[in-house]
Structure 1
Amino acid sequence: MLYAAKLAWRYLASSRGQTALLIAGVALGVFFFVFISALIGGLGQYLVQRTVGEISHVTLTPPPAEARLLPGTEGLSLTVAQAETAQRELLAGAEALIPVLDATPGVKGVSPQIIGNGILMRGQARAAVSVTGIEPQRVLDIANFGARLVEGNAILGSNRVLIGKALAEDLKVSVGQILRLQSDRGQERALQITGIYELGVEGVDRRSIFISQPTARTLFAIPQGISRIEVSLEDLSQADRMAERLAALTGYRAESWTSGNAQLLDGLKAQERSGDMIKGFSLVTIVIGVASAMLVNTYRRSSEIGIMRATGARRGFVLAVFILQGALIGLCGGALGAGLGFAILSHIPPPEIGVTPVMPVDYRQGAYGMALLLTTIGAVLASLLPARAASKIDPVKVIGQ
């Protein structure tokens, strides 16, 4: 086998121009494979981050209330106890679980919240809003308000409020001005705008406001307990698994971001399939190019192959020589293309939350090892037909010519 490898390398070295073109062609195909992998992966990451990167990845809410028979009505059907409509569902014992969630591997941030609805007023202008009361020290645990502020700051104190840019434009207000908020419990409070943000999500920027948790407790008459816990994760793709884990850990209902973004996930899967098809075509191109060149090489060296066969070389040896030529071409071209791809793509900043990339390419998803492996295998497969043709050459006919 060692002698076959030396002979294969000698054949390649004797036709340097053709070998260089073959390796360059393979390298170009591998570079295209790597680029498409990095582009599809980076684009998918960018779309997910832009859509759900700054919202809760897993939301913990109270488990659904169980219907139960009223006392003394065991013999009657369809008689149940129902909670009052004005009663808010709260997470029982949530405060004690916050440190546990903070220490859970894979959890990036935890934000206990009090939620409600209200009317935000400025003179005659009014807007129905969703109100979220958060702990001031955890204001950045879910949404990166610091990077998304267009005016003011994200410091939430008593009677201060963060509003979206679209809402500020609707009400024609700016930082420092006073708004009045009337909650759905009839409580009213004057709030000073501390900051204006723009998350890029229309529903949040126009309909959501954030206040401190003590202020929310007063407005919604919730002296104890919280409405929900929002959890951000280190890896968004693990949301479903983490939701199951957190539900088992806490006993609460856990909903991942994927449950409300089915269309986005379908689009990403279709995009991934399209990328796989393009990468497959690039590999087919490499295989056809290598096979064509090896066939030509077989016909050019038919007399040399005939002499080898006449001197006792077996068909298996000739087969090995040509297969090793294909493997060397694939390995060298694959390494060159993968290395070139990494060298170029690593200078493009990957898409990150809060940053608009120059190009949504993530060099970390270039699939360099896979590109090298598949290219080498493809080149070996491409050399099988020429190798079989070379091993079947009749030395008597070739030498006689």
Structure 2
Amino acid sequence: MKNWLPIEWTIGLRFLTEGIMQTVFILTGIAMGVGVIVFMSAMLAGLQANFIKRVLTSQAHIQIIPPDEVARPLRRAAGVVEGAIVQRPSQRILSIDQWQTVRTAMKARPDVVTVSPTASGSALAIRGDAARSITLTGMEPDLYFQIVRIPDYIVAGTSKLESDDILVGTELAKDLGATVGDKLNLSTASGATRVLTIRGIFDLGNKGANSRNTFVALRTAQSLLRLIGGVTTLDVTVTDIYAAETIAQDISATLPVQADSWIKTNAQFFTAVRAQQSSNTLIRSFVGLSVAFGIAAVLIVSVIQRSKDIGILRAMGTRRAQVLGVFLIQGGVLGFIGSLIGSSLGAGALVLWHSAARQADGTELFPLLLEPSLFIAAAAVATVTGVAAGMAPALRAARLDPVEAIRG
């Protein structure tokens, strides 16, 4: 052993190398525990990132819409109510009041990234004898495509839109027997009609969305929906996706609009993500406890086996703090080396699983996310756990009476 090492390190490392079988067994246990933690953490992070990507590349983080229309009782005279029963009115397609002012206020917020105006409503798409009810969305492509990545989902044609163009889903195109370049006759409840050319066909990965959603230029939708100069929705993206609900509530409280976040509109999905995070944390905690108890058990056995050696060291003048340090160092070294081996095993297993687990179309099931911070955290936590696990046996060793230890 190197002479320049402190005595605590010299003795601690010698104890580890002399009890090589115990050291190998505990390192195997630590490596397996850390490997499980790294594998699960990286895999769940990849799955969650994939889920979030699928949800948030097909919708805005926050949608700003006009407030609901509310019926008010008629009054013939002061204090006299004309109708005793007030029913909720049907909700018409309305433009956001002074939407340009609202958009300016949104763009001024530091937590907002993109604001895209859209005009949406129902329409009927007709081609020959086939007719389908659709959701017509008019937007400004340069802004809207920063929120909903329609160009990434185009399977035929192009996403470029002119005033007489339309983008349709794969299911709608199949139902209407249409392809790129064909004409569709659109009509709305307001009585407006227009013939549009299919410029592109997209696949959002959802059959319902592919059979219902269509996209046109903003001015085209405004004309069909009789919303000249108006918009029904402001789609917003924010810097922190998990703060979307808080931001939406603040917008609703400060402006005369209604703001719905993706967290609210996808409540079940968001609950599933939170449950996944909680279960991952719980599993990692139990694995960490198992590793800690394993280290503690091995070091306690080491204290019992080396009682005479500890007694001799104490009789030779070794301080209690130095004896304490011997076993704390052993715990830390075991945790650190075990974390390095375990991180390599976990990363290797994840790479193999990522290459083997594929979706039906052959694409990856989840993105491979192996961030350096994960390995740094694993090494730090394992080292701290090892030191903490060595505390009890270290205190026991430090309290040994030299005379009784030598006699025993």
TM range, smaller chain: 0.7 to 0.9
Check whether the contact 2:331–2:386 (CA below 8 A) recurs between aligned residues: yes
2:39 aligned partner: 35
Q: State whether structure 2 residue 229 is matched by structure 1 residue 224.
A: yes
- Cα pair distance change 1:42/1:344, threshold 3 Å: same
AA partner of residue 60 (structure 1) = I
Cα distance in 1, alignment partners of residues 233 and 181 from structure 2: 29
Say whether the 8 Å CA contact 1:239–1:257 is kept in structure 2.
yes
- Alignment check: 8 A CA contact 1:41 1:365 kept: no
Give the CA deviation at 1:192.
Answer: 0.7
Query: How far apart, in 2, do the equivalents of 1:184 and 1:333 lie?
Result: 68
Pairing 1:56–2:63 present: no
2:392 matches 1:385: yes
Alignment partner of 1:163 is 2:171:
no
1:247 equivalent to 2:261? Answer no
Following superposition, the deviation at residue 166 of structure 1 comes to: 0.8
Is the CA contact 2:65–2:259 (under 8 Å) kept in the aligned structure 1?
A: yes
Q: Using the TM superposition, give the Cα deviation of residue 101 of structure 1 relative to its aligned residue in structure 2, in angstroms.
A: 3.2
Closer/same/farther in 2, CA of residues 188 and 73 from structure 1, 3 Å limit: same
Quick check: 2:307–2:406 contact (8 Å CA) kept in 1? no
Match 1:47 to one of 41, 45, 51: 51
Match of 1:286 in 2: 291
Q: How does 1:139-288 map to 2 (within 5 A)?
A: 139-248=144-253, 250-288=255-293
Structure 1 residue 74 corresponds to structure 2 residue 78: yes
Q: Is the 8 A contact 2:329 2:387 kept in 1?
A: yes
Structure 1 position 132, deviation (Å):
1.1
1:238–1:346 CA distance, 2 compared to 1 (3 A): farther
| Matched AA of 1:382 | A
Alpha-carbon distance in structure 2 between the residues aligned to 1:145 and 1:96: 27
Please state whether the residue corresponding to 2:37 is helix, strand or coil: helix
Question: What's the offset of the Cα at 1:94?
Answer: 1.1
Confirm or deny that 1:4 pairs with 2:30.
no
Per-residue CA deviations over 1:106-139 (Å, capped at 9, x if unaligned) read: 4343221111111111111110111111124334
Partners of 1:225 and 1:254 in 2: how far apart?
18
Compared CA separation, residues 320 and 136, structure 1 to 2 (3 A)? closer
> In structure 2, how many angstroms separate the alpha carbons of the residues matched to 1:298 and 1:51?
55
What is the match of residue 307 of structure 2? 302
Q: Distance in 2 between matches of 1:78 and 1:89?
A: 27
The answer to whether the Cα contact below 8 Å between 2:9 and 2:329 also exists between their aligned partners in 1 is yes
Letter in 2 for 1:381: A
The 3 A distance-change label for structure 1 pair 276 and 228 is same
Distance 1:365 1:221 in 2: 54
What is the distance in 2 between the residues matched to 1:388 and 1:295? Answer: 10
CA distance in 2, matches of 1:39, 1:399: 52
Tell me the alpha carbon deviations over residues 265-323 of structure 1, each in whole angstroms, 9 at most, x when there is no partner: 22222222222232123212322331232133223322211212333445454233212
Q: How many Å separate the matches in 1 of 2:366 and 2:21?
A: 36
Q: Partners of 1:356 and 1:241 in 2: how far apart?
A: 35
Q: C-alpha displacement at 1:6, in angstroms?
A: 4.3
- What pairs with 1:77-96 in structure 2 (closer than 5 Å)? 77=81, 88-96=93-101
Please tell me the residue identity of whatever aligns with 1:239.
Answer: A
What is the number of residues matched between the two proteins? 396
SS of the equivalent of 1:140 reads helix
Cα distance in structure 1, aligned partners of 2:185 and 2:302:
84
The range that moved more, 269-278 or 369-378, is 369-378
| Distance in 2, Cα, partners of 1:35 & 1:86 | 50
Whether the 8 Å contact between 2:39 and 2:349 is mirrored in structure 1 is no
Instruction: Check whether the contact 1:34–1:366 (CA below 8 A) recurs between aligned residues.
Output: no
Instruction: Give the share of equivalent positions with the same residue, in percent.
Output: 31
User: CA–CA distance in 1 between the matches of 2:203 and 2:239?
Assistant: 23
Cα distance, 1:87–1:244 mapped onto 2, change above 3 Å:
closer
Counterparts of 2:129 and 2:135, CA distance in 1: 19
Contact kept in structure 2, 1:290 and 1:379, CA below 8 Å: yes
Note the alpha carbon deviations across 1:4-61, whole angstroms, 9 max, x for none: 3443244335556654554454244223212211222221221222234321210001
Task: Name the SS of the counterpart of 1:210 in structure 2.
Answer: strand
2:358 corresponds to: none
Displacement, 1:391? 3.4
What is aligned with 1:396? 403
Q: 2:131: which partner in 1?
A: 126
Task: Give the whole-Å Cα distance in 1 for the aligned partners of 2:243 and 2:385.
Answer: 33
1:204-241 CA-to-partner distances (Å, cap 9, x unmatched) read 21111111122222212222221111123344222112
CA gap 1:103/1:194 in 2 versus in 1, 3 angstroms: farther
Alpha-carbon deviation of 1:243? Answer: 1.4
**1:352 corresponds to which residue?**
none
CA distance 1:84–1:28, shift in 2 (3 Å): closer
> Structure 2-normalised TM-score?
0.84
- Using structure 1 for the length normalisation, give the TM-score: 0.85
* Aligned residues of 2:324 and 2:398 also touching (Cα < 8 A): yes
Q: CA deviation at 1:245?
A: 3.9
- In 2, are the aligned partners of 1:38 and 1:365 still within 8 Å (CA)? no
Structure 1 unaligned segments of length 5 or more: list them: 350-354
Q: Match of 1:105?
A: 110
